[in-house]
Amino acid sequence: MVLNLPKGLQHFMEDTGAEEGVVICRIEGEYPLSEKVKAEGLKEFLNKLKSPSIKSSK
């Protein structure tokens, strides 16, 4: 299922060169919203931030 994302989000991603986007929602798990954007639950998102596989950009 692909949804029409708000133009503001599309412009932001284009302007910043973002390769992917995440919308944090009150859900469990994650679901694709478009080719480059997914909806993800807060718990899952925070667990990914704590994961050592995510490299810092510093």
Is the pLDDT reported for residue 1 higher than 70?
no
CA gap 53, 4 in Å, rounded: 31
Question: Nearest 5°: phi and psi at 6?
Answer: -55, 145
Q: Let me know if residue 44 belongs to a domain.
A: yes
Residue 54: what pLDDT? Answer: 56
Range of the domain at 44: 7-50
Q: End-to-end CA distance of the chain, in Å? A: 35
Q: How many alpha carbons lie under 13 Å from residue 22 in its C-beta half-sphere?
A: 14
Q: Let me know if residue 22 belongs to a domain.
A: yes
Residue 8: what pLDDT? Answer: 85
The pLDDT tens digits of the residues spanning 13-58 come to 999 999 999 999 899 999 998 888 999 999 999 998 887 765 555 4
Residue 3: what pLDDT? Answer: 59
Of 42, 7, 38, the closest CA to residue 20 belongs to 38
User: Considering its fold, how many domains does the chain have in total?
Assistant: 1
Q: Let me know if residue 34 belongs to a domain.
A: yes
